[in-house]
Amino acid sequence: MALPFFYFSDGFSQKKILILNEETSKHIVQVLRMQVGEKLQLTDGKGNLVTVEIADNNRKKCVVNIVEPPTTNLQPPTSNTTIAISLLKNTNRFEWFLEKATEMGVNTIVPLICERTEKQHLKIERQHSILISAMLQSQQCRLPELKEPVKYKSFVENADYGRKFIAHCEAEENKVQLSSQLQQIATSKLILIGPEGDFTKQEIELALKNNFTPVALGNTRLRTETAAIVAACLLTQF
């Protein structure tokens, strides 16, 4: 039977004793009712995993001892995938995307503020908790990096990636299906996903000027969060 699995943000290199935060301690002691001597696993969200044993099952500050050397560099990304997505007015839909993107192994998420973006603020602490929950639920050891919201123009002009795509709904002669571009493996991949109402023509032109490849994600018009999930599903496989 798999050991219970938790997130420990402070890291555990060169340590033998760890003190868990109150939220994790409560779950271990009050929900799972774990006792002194029982084992569990901790990840730092950076690809490292360690097995520990409960030394003091205090519900506010559970103390654990490391009983095995950490396993390092688990699930190394073969190709870093970044999804830059416009913030959504509907917070629930944006949070749904964060959860599913984490499950699929997206490495970095960049909230964009575009010309048609209606909401320009993000509750980073809450969103970070959603990423952690999704990482643990999907039994992964790497936590996606969630950036602070950034203006579209600034991000596009400074984006440095092996492959860069922009998904939009405008009719364009040079636009291709994203699925047809995946044979060209790159060490890092980025795709821009626009807001409800799509990118403006000026935003599309700016991306093309900065060497983004225009792509389609299928033959139907997708919601922002659906488009981002389709892109994540395709890009994380290569």
Domains of the chain as residue ranges with CATH: 5-66 (2.40.240.20), 80-235 (3.40.1280.10)
Show Cβ contacts of residue 37 under 8 Å, excluding neighbours closer than 6 positions.
Answer: 53, 54
At residue 109's C-alpha, the angle toward residues 104 and 114, to 5°, is 130
From CA 110, how far away is CA 114, in angstroms rounded? 12
And the tokens for 76?
Answer: 């190394």
Within 10 angstroms of residue 66's Cβ, the number of other Cβ atoms is: 16
Please give the single-letter amino acid code of residue 238: F
Q: Helix, strand, or coil here: 104?
A: helix
70, 91, 114, 189 from 118: Cα distances, Å: 44, 11, 9, 26
Q: Given this model, what pLDDT does residue 78 score?
A: 64
Q: What is the mean pLDDT of each run of 10 residues along the chain (238 residues)?
A: 88 86 95 95 93 95 92 75 95 95 95 92 90 94 94 97 93 85 80 95 96 92 94 89
**Closest alpha carbon to 132 in 4, 3, 9, 1:** 9
From CA 137, how far away is CA 102, in angstroms rounded? 10
From CA 131, how far away is CA 137, in angstroms rounded? 10
The answer to whether 205 and 73 are in contact (CB under 8 A) is: no
41, 109, 112, 146, 159 from 149: Cα distances, Å: 33, 10, 6, 9, 14
Q: Given this model, what pLDDT does residue 150 score?
A: 96
- Residues pairing with 65 in the sheet: 17, 53
Helices (H), 34-190: 91-104, 124-137, 152-158
Q: Helix, strand, or coil here: 72?
A: coil
